[in-house]
Structure 1
Amino acid sequence: MTDDLATAETRSIVVEEVFPHSPQVIWRALTDGNLIARFLMLPTNFAPMVGTRFTFQTKPAGAWDGTIHCEVLEVVDCQRFSFSWKGGDDRNVGYGSRLDTVVTWSLSPTAGGTRLRLVHSGFELPRNETAYANMSGGWTKVVPGIAPLLHEIGEPDKIKE
């Protein structure tokens, strides 16, 4: 065992928000590719079906072309949606280092609407320290930033895609 393996740890990013919307409205935002593009990135070849492979494209770095490779792992209608999130390259240090993680969205009804919980798990530190720091800040903006979209799709005749 190397010193790097002995000192490595795995971390997760967890962000929760309660929205005054039904699980069905939030579910639609999480599982419609055109809507995902409005709060995250445009997914290519996306379908909310287990086994579907899709990609996101972000800023390339070093040996990494910026492609995030994903596969839908779990779909429980209006309750839970998860997919793998893999990218980077072993030759990169910092931004663009190899990343092999899982994004899980969970919905649970509350008295005031629905609790949306995002868990992005599997960050291996210290290798993924940059991704963990950047995405921690990113997800804390993305999750509450879904609110304006939810207000629109809660009223289907006002959707602007």
Structure 2
Amino acid sequence: MNDSALKLPTQEIVVDEVFPHAPETIWKTLTSEALMARWLMEPQGFAPVKGTRFTYQTKPAGEWDGTIHCEVLEVVPNERFVYAWKGGHESNKGYGSRLDTIVTFTLTEVPEGTRLRLVHSGFVTPTNDTAFQNMREGWRKVVPSLGNFTDVPH
């Protein structure tokens, strides 16, 4: 049996937004620990450096302690930022089920400013359906709000 036969069906969240800011400004908002804490969650141990492992803390469920384990996978300043997003526990059903996903932010300069494309991929169907639905709604609110945090001094 080859690898493709073992691959489970997955879903991805895609949010595309244009901001009236330079790519450098949006980049700083995405990769500054202080600003991330304002628009998403407070990261622990974060640095925008490939290989950096960091965590977020959210509401625990069942056997899962609520810790989201992340690792920076790719950093191309002002263009692309990618990290792994893992959490949950295999014994949980619905909220808090085992999750092994990838978050990708791609920035493109456009005449209006910067196009930001978020792709959060790897939600296994049906195991991660609850996480997919919750996070899809969350990202659809969070990404458009990023422009509100660009000029925050830190």
Residue by residue over 1:77-100, the C-alpha shift from the partner in whole angstroms, topping out at 9 and shown as x without a partner, is 100000000000000000000000
What amino acid sits opposite 2:116 in the alignment? L
Q: Once superposed, what is the RMSD of the aligned Cα atoms?
A: 1.6
What amino acid sits opposite 2:15 in the alignment? V
Q: Which residue of 2 aligns with 1:36?
A: 36
Q: Which residue of 2 aligns with 1:126?
A: 126
- 1:6, 1:78 → 2: CA distance? 36
Residue by residue over 1:39-84, the C-alpha shift from the partner in whole angstroms, topping out at 9 and shown as x without a partner, is 0000000000000000000000000000000000000010000000
- 1:7, 1:45 → 2: CA distance? 32
Q: Does 1:63 pair with 2:63?
A: yes
Q: Which residue of 2 aligns with 1:90?
A: 90
Q: Which residue of 1 aligns with 2:116?
A: 116
- 1:50, 1:141 → 2: CA distance? 27
Q: Which residue of 2 aligns with 1:51?
A: 51
- 1:26, 1:8 → 2: CA distance? 34
Kept in 2, the 8 Å contact 1:8–1:126? The answer is no
Kept in 2, the 8 Å contact 1:72–1:82? The answer is yes
What amino acid sits opposite 1:39 in the alignment? W
Q: 1:24 to 1:7 in 2, by over 3 A?
A: closer
Q: CA deviation at 1:119?
A: 0.3
Q: Which residue of 2 aligns with 1:78?
A: 78
Q: CA deviation at 1:35?
A: 0.5
The answer for unaligned runs of 5 or more in structure 1 is: 154-158
Q: CA deviation at 1:16?
A: 0.6
- 1:106, 1:7 → 2: CA distance? 26
TM-score (norm 1): 0.90
Count of residue pairs the alignment pairs up: 151
The answer for unaligned runs of 5 or more in structure 2 is: none
TM-score (norm 2): 0.94
What amino acid sits opposite 2:120 in the alignment? H
